[in-house]
Homo-oligomer: A and B are copies of this chain.
Amino acid sequence: MSERHLYGGLEFSPTTRIRLSPFWPGVQAAGVSTASIYNHVLFPCVFRSLEEDYRHLKNHVQLWDVSCQRQVELSGPDAALLARMIAPRDISALDVGQCCYVPAVDRGGKLLNDPVLIKLAEDRFWFSVADSDLILFASGVAAGAGLAVRVHEPDVSPLAIQGPKAEQLMRGMFGEEISGLKFFRGRYIEFDGKNHLVTRSGYSKQGGFEIYVEGAEHGMPIWNALMQAGAEFQLRAGGPNYIERVEGGLLSYGGDITSEHTPYEGGLEAYCDAEAAFDCLGRDALLRELESGPKRQIRCLTFAGGKVPPCDHRWELSVNGRFAGQVSAAVWSPELGLNIGIGMVESEFWDAGSELCAELPGESRTVTVQAEFFN
């Protein structure tokens, strides 16, 4: 059981509106304890405890049900054009099998999602999406502009294998070719006569892979095979770990960055090249923002005092009573021996070393802006 928070102790109402992952029997058997809903899919988060899962992830290897990371498939003559209309960077040089992190934007340059774009063929792409219905934007643009493209969600459920022993496990199961995979590159593996894309990627800084399992009926056979092969590496079921992702500065769309923010405010300038993105619907807005510069930006934060409570809502930041931003994530890092967090901080206060005041439930805390995240 997690610490009490604003919605701790509540049960999930049963409904067919929430989609169940093909891996759910495995997730349940592994003893999931907390979950969320992400892209209308029930999403397992914590198994033993946040800290126990964290230590295990950093030392061994974990199997994550990330089937909530849905694929938006674009296929047909205008598939590449539609991808370029959404992506604010030059994706024309992508190889087939290559992945690319894309801060998807609307025509106002605001973030709609921060998916990984995977080029499957010259006329076939997947946006592997964070928590918003990017499929609706893609099909809206296609319909509005009259593009020759099919937009749909295929029956694909990603499974992540993350942690320092992920390499050994995957090599043992799928052979040496897997070791040759570079970061953000993919290739197909065969399992039980069916091909599935594997990429070197995942929402952790511990290294690993994602298997895009095609066909729900293949879900549990692959899950079980990995569980069995992983026993010698102390494999456990896990989920994207809140402590590890905050240490590494991995953002959560909808939490740290939202539809109110631009990619520059999200600190995602390395993944934007508005100049070169001629077809991007948000290009003009992004070029304007590039000129004026963002007025607020994502920062790594540290908190004074003892263990912070669960960050179940945004905490306001201020300096001498003036609004300085908002904390969107905060947690105690056992390895750093520090409270760390993520915040959107106003430009006036965002320099490394700045001290801000955060309004936590029932108390104020001193927060220090850091130059960068921890790994």
Measured CB to CB, the residues of A under 8 A from B are 1-2, 5-18, 20, 24, 28, 32-38, 40, 42, 45-46, 85, 106-107, 112, 131-134, 136-147, 153, 242, 252-256, 259, 281, 310-314, 328-329
Contact = CB atoms under 8 A, between A and B. Distances in A.
A13 B35 contact: yes
Contact of A15 (B12, B33, B134, B252): B252
A22 to B, nearest CB: 11
A35 B10 contact: yes
23 contacts: A2-B11, A12-B34, A13-B34, A15-B311, A15-B312, A16-B252, A16-B254, A16-B256, A16-B328, A17-B253, A20-B313, A36-B37, A85-B143, A106-B139, A132-B133, A133-B133, A139-B140, A140-B141, A140-B144, A141-B143, A141-B144, A144-B147, A153-B259
A11 B8 contact: yes
A138 B140 CA distance: 7
Contacts of A143: 85, 106-107, 140-141, 144, 281
**Within the oligomer, what is the number of copies of this chain?**
2
A367 to B, nearest CB: 16
Contacts of A328: 16
B14 A8 contact: yes
Contacts of A252: 15-17
A34 B11 contact: yes
Max chain B C-beta neighbours (<10 A), residue from A6, A33, A146: A6
A28 B9 contact: no
Nearest to A145: B144
A5 B16 CA distance: 12
A341 to B, nearest CB: 11
Given A34-B10, A106-B143, A311 B16 contact: yes
A6 B33 contact: no
A259 B136 CA distance: 10
A244 to B, nearest CB: 14
B2 A14 contact: yes
Max chain B C-beta neighbours (<10 A), residue from A16, A36, A38, A142: A16
Contact of A12 (B18, B35, B144, B314): B35
Contacts of A7: 12, 14, 18, 35, 42
A353 to B, nearest CB: 25
Top-9 shortest CB links A-B? A140-B140, A144-B144, A144-B145, A14-B310, A17-B255, A133-B133, A141-B144, A17-B254, A14-B312
A113 B360 CA distance: 37
A259 B140 CA distance: 14
Contacts of A46: 13
Given A37-B37, A137-B139, 5 more contacts: A12-B12, A13-B34, A16-B311, A16-B314, A137-B140
A2 B11 CA distance: 8
Contacts of A12: 7-8, 10, 12, 34-36
B32 A10 contact: yes
Nearest to A24: B6
A109 to B, nearest CB: 11
A133 B12 CA distance: 21
